[in-house]
Amino acid sequence: MMQHHVMDRAPGTFSLKDLRHIYERPTELRLIGGSDALDAARQTVTDLIANGETAYGINTGFGLLASTRIASKDVQRLQENLVLSHATGVGEPLNDGVVRLILATKAASLAQGFSGVRQCVIDALLALLAHEVYPLIPAKGSVGASGDLAPLAHLSAVLLGVGEVRSKGGIKPAREGLADAGLQPMVLEAKEGLALLNGTQVSTALALAGLFEIENMFAAAMVAGAMSVDAMKGSDVPFDPRIQAVRRQKGQIDVAAAYRDLLAGSAIRESHADCDKVQDPYSLRCQPQVMGAALTLMRQAAETLLTEANAVTDNPLIFADEKDILSGGNFHAEPVAMAADMLAIAASEVASISERRTSLLVDPKLSGLPAFLVKEGGLNSGFMIAQVTAAALVSENKTLAHPASVDSIPTSAGQEDHVSMATFAGRRLADIAFNCDAVIAIELLAAAQGIDFHRPLTSSPAIEDGYSAVRAIAATYEQDRYFAPDIEGVRKLVAEGRFNLSVDGLLPSDHMGSEAL
């Protein structure tokens, strides 16, 4: 078992950095406080059943069957039936980082004392997280309303000893996984199955994972863009703070400042300070405007997702002070769907402008560099088809970035007649991020090749650091060679966040805490 990170938090106080830690590494989460509220909410549920009263999902059927009263003797069976009947997911299982986020945010949501579950339910979720016992949750089968019912049912089924988990590097039956975590199969009491299944934790976890992957890509794209400016002896005038100040867009202002830092101290820049070139193409000149707009969307999406990760999103909710059990719609994941759509658009545009810079780099009329960035053109094709690959991926992203939140399909015999599609909205971000990572990797390789043509002049310290990272994977292209391993190697650098420190403080998860709520 990997050494895991220990995190003490009060329920509902995650920072974005906390969530990124949970996504990236095994984590033991210890929730502090809140037991009085938890006990009071549980007592409210118990009293309702003892008094012969009726509340949705506690002693009634679900969805269209909400008007069907369930006898007290069948309440436990009702919860078990709910979990097993709703475990209808299909497809490949979600990755461990996403499952960690689901376990952590579901436990923290329940622990706030509005869901009516016992402490032992929360403790079981935290034990799975701490012991790295990850329920196998099929990726497909949720419409992002009434909660992420199917995927959360697969999570919950493991608590009953049903299904499979990934534990100690292998897949095993749920009962064996529970034993690895020091647990026995549970019997769920009234309301607990519904509380586990209702909620936006899967959609939110997928969207958060997309955000964190896109952050890594964005940082690399900043380095690649700056490297391309130097490789093509572009102007740094477009990054002047006065231009950004009169536009007033904070994302643009912050991005331009980062570009100035990235380019500071370049001998290549000094070598053409007095050239007569007036303006560069948009993909060089308009980087603050495009990347700044993308950063603004990322920040807005991050704020929404941070709020959602700290929220209570099941139904009905227990307000113990007033002895009220209220049915509402906090499970509807529309905020998550729209945030994920914003991230899809932002990421796709970052890759789009990157591909345009690669296209400039391989065009000798625009770059001033050898055609396709290689000597002996004709004998060698150089970066010709690498740019085609980038173009293919950018075009694919155009389809993937179609907004999911504008789609809806009625379910549950029309009772649930408008849904968010947030689960798909979040899940497809992984595909977009992968495509973007490869596009940025191709630009990094091309820009590094462009820098080579200016030797012995050096670029700035920041760009030379990025150049060295690329060259540690891929040597200069003196002649054609098998290309794909170089792209994959640099793509992995991008995906791993190798370039994040080059824009330290710029990314949302660098600084967004729970106080942002």
Between CA 398 and CA 394 the distance in angstroms is 7
**SS3 letters across 430-443:** HHHHHHHHHHHHHH
Q: b/e per residue, 286-304, with b = 16+ CB within 10 A? A: bbbbbbbbbbbbbbbbbbb
Neighbour-count burial of 307, counting CB atoms closer than 10 A to its CB (0-12 exposed, 13-18 middle, 19+ buried): middle
Report cis status (omega within 30 of 0) of the bond before 185: no
Query: The tokens 């490949």 sit on which residue?
Result: 92
Q: Identify the H or E element spanning 477.
A: none
Question: Residue 53: how many CA atoms within 13 Å on its side-chain side?
Answer: 11
Q: Name which of 350, 353, 18, 401 is nearest 215 in CA terms.
A: 350
Extract the tokens encoding 88.
């209808």
CA angle 188, 414, 162 (to 5 degrees): 25
| Residue 227 identity | M
Extract the tokens encoding 207.
């969207």
CA angle 386, 216, 279 (to 5 degrees): 60
Positions of E strands within 193-332: 317-319, 324-326
Catalytic residue among 23, 56, 259, 477: 56
Q: Is 289 helix (H, G, I), strand (E, B) or coil?
A: helix
Does residue 56 carry a catalytic annotation? yes
Neighbour-count burial of 63, counting CB atoms closer than 10 A to its CB (0-12 exposed, 13-18 middle, 19+ buried): middle
Radius of gyration (C-alpha) of the chain in whole angstroms: 26
Query: Alpha carbon of 77 to those of 111, 117, 147, 413, 502: distances in Å?
Result: 24, 16, 21, 23, 55
Q: Are 210 and 435 in contact (CB under 8 A)?
A: no
Between CA 104 and CA 38 the distance in angstroms is 17
Query: Alpha carbon of 1 to those of 25, 133, 464: distances in Å?
Result: 11, 10, 37
Query: The tokens 């050898």 sit on which residue?
Result: 370
Report cis status (omega within 30 of 0) of the bond before 241: no
Q: Are 21 and 27 in contact (CB under 8 A)?
A: yes
Q: Any idea which residues carry the catalytic annotation?
A: 56
